[in-house]
Amino acid sequence: MLKVVRSALADIGRGLRMRNVWMALAREDIGDQHKRTTLGPVWLLVNYLAYAGTFVVIFGHNPAIPNFPAFVAVGLFVWLYLSEVITQGVSLFTREQSFISGTTLPVTVYVMRMTMQSVIRAAYALAGCLAIVLIEGTPVTSFWLWSALGLVLIVFATPAVITLCAIGGAFFPDVNFLVQNLMRLGLFVTPIFWTRLSEGGMRALIYHWNPFTYFLEIVRIPVIDGRVPFHALGICATITFFLWATAVLLLGRLRKQIVFVL
């Protein structure tokens, strides 16, 4: 077990030391994806605004949820980030097959490359989210710092999530289709544009047992309700710990086998 952990930590350490490589590759990927377009990466902002605006128009103003547009904007921002990380993470090693087969780069380089891409794309969406929240008249308070802490926790968990998804997708290709279907369903069973109405019923059960609920809450509650979501932060910190522990164990045990299963 100790040998497995040391192997994983060695790969992670080498990958982090090569930050200039994966940061440059991530920026290049974003540029290539919007090459020759008029707006360039600003399309990422436009896409978010269009998506969020559609949700607000379709679902209208929910009287049970104060400041509904801001509620949806923040929830959708977090959901889109998590959804992209998971769905894209499953096929990461398959997409990078030629690099993995032809180079000796640490696996962590590919994970951090995708992490950086996701963070850059999220930064554009965050600008749109903040615009909606401020236009709706949501007061800026010191509690927003807790929301920022929630974002930091989510970003910290991202490499672990990508590692787990990528390993699963590499060894079990069917996971790719399973995850895609689950994330489509997750859009509706995650409280992005709804909230629990009572402590009982199916909606309350889904609300409490859906782990995405708490990752939305650690960002949304400080902004919308002006309070600290200690309960949600504790749950998210626990989930993040187990994600990293599992990712380290699987990375240490399976990283040398990845090239042979692609």
**Which of the pair, 82 or 59, is modelled with greater confidence?**
82
Q: What is the mean pLDDT of residues 60-76?
A: 82
Can you give the pLDDT at residue 62? Answer: 67
**Which of the pair, 24 or 35, is modelled with greater confidence?**
24
Q: What's the CA gap between 187 and 63, in Å, rounded?
A: 21
The rounded percent of the chain whose pLDDT value lies above 70 is: 96
Dihedral sign computed on CA atoms, order 18, 80, 166, 95: negative
pTM: 0.93
Q: What is the mean pLDDT of residues 64-92?
A: 91
Domain ranges of the chain: 2-33+42-261
Q: What is the mean pLDDT of residues 8-32?
A: 88
Query: Residue 79 CB: number of other CB atoms within 10 A?
Result: 20
15-32 per-residue burial string, b: 16 or more CB within 10 A, e: under 16: beebeeebeebbeeebee
**Residues 258/100, Cβ–Cβ less than 8 Å:** yes
Phi, psi dihedral angles at 39 (to 5 degrees): -90, -15
Can you give the pLDDT at residue 197? Answer: 63
Place of tokens 């400041």: 67
Q: What's the CA gap between 179 and 230, in Å, rounded?
A: 29
DSSP string over the chain: -HHHHHHHHHHHHHHHHTHHHHHHHHHHHHHHHTTT-SSTTHHHHHHHHHHHHHHHHHH---TTSTTHHHHHHHHHHHHHHHHHHHHHHHTHHHHTHHHHHH----HHHHHHHHHHHHHHHHHHHHHHHHHHHHHTTPPP-TTHHHHHHHHHHHHHHHHHHHHHHHHHHHH-THHHHHHHHHHHHHHHHSSSS----SSSHHHHHHHHH-HHHHHHHHHHHHHHT-S--HHHHHHHHHHHHHHHHHHHHHHHHHTTTHHHH-
Structure tokens at 204: 């309350």
Q: What is the mean pLDDT of residues 67-96?
A: 92
Summarize pLDDT for 181-200 with one digit per residue, the tens. 999 999 889 998 888 765 66
**Range with lowest mean pLDDT among 54-63, 137-146, 244-253:** 54-63
- Asked whether residue 126 carries a pLDDT value surpassing 90, the answer given is yes
